[in-house]
Amino acid sequence: MRRFWLAVSALSIALMGAFPTLAAAAPADEANAVVDAWVARYSANDRDGVVALYAPDAILLGTTSPVISEGTEQIRTYFDELPGSGRSNRITDRRTRVLSPDAVLSTGFYAFARAAEGNVPRPSRFSMLLVRRDGRWLILHHHSSPYSAVRR
C-alpha cells in the first residue's frame, strides 16, 4: 500500500511539472475573483467595499488623479472624490500572469460609464498586482489610465 501512495505522489509531482498552468490556475482564479469584485463594487458605488479590496500599504494610480494614492486613507479619499451613483465599469479584455503562488498580475482594458455623463463609455487600461496575505487576496498596486484612439 505504501508503494501505491508513493507512486501516486510521484505521478502527481510529475504531472504538476508537466502542466504548470494547472498548478497556477487556482491563484489566477482567486486573484481574478478580487478584480471581478472590484468591478462589481465600483459599479454598485460601494466605496467601502472597493477600499477593502486593497492592501493597507497599496498604491493606486487612479484614472482621474494627478497624485499617487498610497495606503488605505489616501485610496479612500480618491474614491470618495469620484462622482456619486450612476457609475458602471466592465472589463472588456484581461490578461493574467501568475508571478508566484502568492502574487498575480492582472492587466487589460475596462470601460467606465457615468450616468451624469450620458453613460458614454470611457475606455481605460488597468493593471493590478494582487498578493495573498494571511490567506486573503488583496490589491497591492493598481494603475488605471484612459487610452485614446488607436495609434496609426
Domains of the chain: residue spans and CATH: 24-146 (3.10.450.50)
Backbone angles phi, psi at 143, to 5 degrees: -120, 130
Backbone angles phi, psi at 41, to 5 degrees: -70, -40
* pLDDT for the residue numbered 152: 56
56 pLDDT band (50/70/90 cuts)? very high
Please give the average per-residue pLDDT across 86-92, as a whole number: 83
Cβ atoms < 10 Å from Cβ of 150: 5
Please give the average per-residue pLDDT across 61-71, as a whole number: 93
Please give the average per-residue pLDDT across 102-119, as a whole number: 88
Rounded CA-CA distance 35/66 in Å is: 23
Please give the average per-residue pLDDT across 89-115, as a whole number: 93
* pLDDT for the residue numbered 5: 44
Rounded CA-CA distance 114/85 in Å is: 8
